[in-house]
């Protein structure tokens, strides 16, 4: 179970009691004070079940426990201070006994949940349940998983094989050699509403067959776990071991795959997150058909249009995403998308924090030609782009580059222009020399001015700017000298702006936009 930790204040729930008072002049026969009136059944409102027993008895046989086995290294001298005389003594003793430091391992097990989706033994679970480490970010040094065991509700055990994985959504598909198994289905429609009932069945802490119920608390929740975040939030009790298990609606259809909890303690606090069926369904279909997942690709580096960046652009709202970089000869470049464009709508869908450009593009069929609405120089435009197939994650990460040491051997320039940017932005700029380019591993195509100093407490410092960062443009105006930077800042002041938009390059990485507030001018 993936856990997002946070400090959450405790809430105190206070209940009250209602009293019914009979009129003093009632003509009814006296009734003893402790007499119990006849029970009157209260019919629940429409859609609220009296019990989940009948439904869960039908669903539970299709929910399974998933366990893995792997060999993990053991420290021979655990408990002894490293480098201590006692550790050295034990090491020499083992060498004298003929033990030459052979690796010592122990068997480690992990537990999770899953559910059967076909009578012939296809099973859905989370990738992190069957991975040697974090399902989204596997460690190359982690010992491999040696075996996967699936245990049914009747305690029948099967060895499982991996059909396919999708680390980006933390999904995996397993297969067991069996027939006539009970199975469940994904909800056919994406019409889940906040407030709908939700039933979780799983294997929390190894307690298989545990059933909990709650409601759908939120939709399209972005918890920062990855670029395709689109979780369904529920208050049904979910704990470690529920990962990979199903979240059902009252029709017995799977509306989500329980994946993560938000907790300060590691236990349930009513904040559980499930991959919704609308996301999982096509992923599992692809894994079952080919063992891999194909995603759409546009070839842009994007950033959310935060309030600061929106202010720097002079836009009235913070919806949309700004293009920070465009891959040469990629789908976006061929469509005419440029660095600095603000994409507001794609294929008819508004781009928001909960409906990101990455998510929409990833779920667009490869080869589809789609309309993209954007803002450029304050003008709305609509262009058409043909979606390509997303390269492997290794290629994508290689293209993004790596950050370099921010310490740069740059001398703060003493000029009116440099002083102007220091007073307006809290940063001192210097020209980009070939020596700095080499030291910072900057591509030959990069043109800009280098940050040689930052004033503590300035908004530039709070935005994470560092010495050695290269400012490529200010408010979409290229800046290759401190004088050009000062002129762009001065133009922003005259236009009544209180924030400027900086395009910043750090090392060989992709450029990013930062909205930096101007320091109030002194009179």
DSSP 351-362: --SSS-HHHHHH
Span 70-98, average pLDDT: 59
- For the question of residue 220 being annotated catalytic, the response is no
Q: What digits encode the pLDDT tens for the residues 208-231?
A: 889 999 999 999 888 776 667 789
User: Using CA atoms, how far apart are residues 106 and 326, in angstroms rounded to an integer?
Assistant: 49
Span 76-102, average pLDDT: 58
Q: Name the residue ranges covered by the structural domains of the chain.
A: 59-175, 197-290, 296-400, 416-517
Check pLDDT > 80 for residue 456: no
Check pLDDT > 70 for residue 96: no
* Segments of 243-319 assigned E as strands: 246-248, 254-262, 272-276, 296-297, 300-304
- Catalytic annotation, pick one of 170, 229, 341, 469: 170
- Pick the closest to residue 158 from 289, 65, 243 (CA basis): 65
Span 362-385, average pLDDT: 93
pLDDT band for 64, please (50, 70, 90 cuts).
very high
Q: What pLDDT shows up at residue 52?
A: 92
Q: Is 354 annotated as a binding residue?
A: no
Greater pLDDT, 201 or 12: 201
Range 59-175: architecture per CATH: Beta Barrel (2.40)
Q: What pLDDT shows up at residue 12?
A: 29
- Pick the closest to residue 468 from 514, 421, 404 (CA basis): 404
pLDDT band for 93, please (50, 70, 90 cuts).
low
User: Using CA atoms, how far apart are residues 294 and 365, in angstroms rounded to an integer?
Assistant: 9
Check pLDDT > 80 for residue 518: yes
pLDDT band for 20, please (50, 70, 90 cuts).
very low
* pLDDT mean across residues, the chain: 80
Name the β-bridge partners of 246: 257
- For the question of residue 170 being annotated catalytic, the response is yes
| Burial group, residue 196, by CB count within 10 angstroms (0-12, 13-18, 19+) | middle
Q: What pLDDT shows up at residue 78?
A: 56
Q: What pLDDT shows up at residue 206?
A: 84
Three-state DSSP class for residue 487: helix
DSSP state of 445: T
How many Cα atoms within 13 Å fall on the side-chain side of residue 244?
34
Q: CATH assignment of 416-517? A: 2.30.42.10
Two structure tokens written together for 87: 């550790």
Q: What pLDDT shows up at residue 95?
A: 61
Two structure tokens written together for 219: 């939709």
Give CA separation, 28 vs 3, 31, 34, 35, 489, in Å.
Answer: 61, 8, 16, 14, 87
- Catalytic annotation, pick one of 67, 217, 243, 424: 243
- Pick the closest to residue 197 from 12, 1, 51, 3 (CA basis): 51
Other Cβ atoms less than 10 A from the Cβ of 352: the count is 17
Q: What pLDDT shows up at residue 195?
A: 94
Pick the CATH number of 197-290 from 2.40.10.10, 3.20.20.480, 3.30.450.20, 3.40.950.10: 2.40.10.10
Q: What is the pTM of this model?
A: 0.67
- Catalytic annotation, pick one of 67, 110, 113, 128: 128
Is residue 234 within 8 Å of residue 215, measured between CB atoms? yes
Q: Is 243 annotated as a binding residue?
A: yes
Pick the CATH number of 296-400 from 1.10.3470.10, 3.30.360.10, 1.10.287.620, 2.30.42.10: 2.30.42.10
Is residue 468 within 8 Å of residue 449, measured between CB atoms? no
Greater pLDDT, 386 or 3: 386
Q: Identical fold at 59-175 and 197-290?
A: yes
Among the residue ranges 96-105, 120-129, 227-236, 267-276, the one predicted with the least confidence is 96-105
Q: What digits encode the pLDDT tens for the residues 274-319?
A: 999 999 999 999 999 999 999 999 999 888 887 888 887 777 666 7
Span 471-480, average pLDDT: 91
Q: Is 242 annotated as a binding residue?
A: yes
Q: What pLDDT shows up at residue 507?
A: 82
């Amino acid at each position: 179970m993936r856990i997002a930790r946070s400090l959450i204040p405790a809430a105190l729930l206070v209940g009250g009691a209602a009293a019914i008072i009979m009129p003093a002049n009632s003509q009814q026969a006296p009734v003893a004070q402790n007499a119990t009136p006849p029970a009157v059944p209260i019919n629940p409102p429409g859609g609220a079940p009296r019990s989940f027993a009948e439904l869960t008895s039908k669903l539970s046989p299709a929910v399974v426990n998933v366990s893995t086995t792997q060999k993990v290294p053991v420290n021979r001298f655990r408990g002894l201070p490293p480098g201590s005389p006692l550790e050295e003594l034990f090491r020499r003793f083992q060498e004298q006994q003929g033990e030459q430091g052979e690796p010592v391992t122990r068997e480690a097990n992990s537990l999770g949940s899953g559910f059967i989706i076909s009578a012939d033994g296809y099973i859905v679970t989370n990738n992190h349940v069957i991975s040697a480490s974090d399902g989204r970010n596997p460690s190359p040094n982690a010992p491999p998983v040696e075996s996967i065991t699936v245990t049914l509700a009747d305690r029948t055990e099967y060895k499982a094989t991996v059909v396919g994985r999708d680390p980006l959504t933390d999904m995996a598909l397993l297969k067991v050699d069996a027939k006539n198994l009970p199975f469940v289905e994904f909800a056919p429609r994406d019409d889940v509403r906040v407030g709908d009932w939700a039933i979780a069945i799983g294997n929390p802490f190894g307690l298989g067959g545990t059933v909990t119920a709650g409601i759908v608390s939120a939709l399209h929740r972005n918890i920062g776990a990855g670029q395709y975040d689109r979780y369904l939030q529920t208050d049904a009790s979910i704990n470690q071991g529920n990962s990979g298990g199903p979240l059902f609606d009252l029709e017995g259809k799977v509306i989500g795959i329980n994946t993560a909890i938000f907790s300060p303690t590691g236990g349930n606090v009513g904040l559980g997150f499930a991959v919704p069926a609308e996301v999982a369904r096509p992923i599992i279909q692809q894994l079952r058909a080919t063992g891999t997942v194909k995603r759409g690709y546009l070839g842009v580096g994007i950033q959310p249009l935060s309030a600061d960046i929106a202010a720097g652009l002079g836009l009235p709202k913070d919806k949309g995403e700004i293009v920070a970089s465009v891959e040469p000869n990629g789908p976006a470049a061929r469509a005419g998308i440029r660095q600095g464009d603000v994409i507001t709508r794609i294929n008819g869908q508004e781009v928001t924090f909960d409906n990101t450009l990455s998510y929409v593009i990833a779920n667009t069929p490869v080869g589809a030609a789609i309309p993209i609405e954007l803002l450029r120089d304050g003008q709305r435009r609509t262009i058409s782009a043909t979606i390509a197939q997303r390269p492997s994650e290794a290629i994508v990460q290689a293209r993004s580059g790596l950050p370099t040491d921010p310490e740069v051997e740059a001398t703060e320039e003493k000029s009116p222009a440099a002083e102007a940017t220091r007073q307006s932005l809290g940063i001192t700029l210097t020209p980009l020399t070939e020596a700095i380019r080499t030291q910072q591993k900057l591509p030959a195509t990069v043109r800009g001015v280098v940050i040689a100093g930052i004033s503590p407490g300035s908004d530039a410092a709070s935005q994470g700017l560092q010495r050695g960062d290269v400012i490529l443009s200010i408010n979409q105006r290229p800046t290759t000298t401190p004088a050009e930077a000062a002129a762009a800042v001065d133009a922003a002041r005259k236009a009544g702006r209180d924030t400027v938009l900086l395009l910043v390059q750090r090392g060989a990485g992709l450029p990013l936009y930062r909205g930096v507030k101007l320091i109030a001018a002194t009179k």
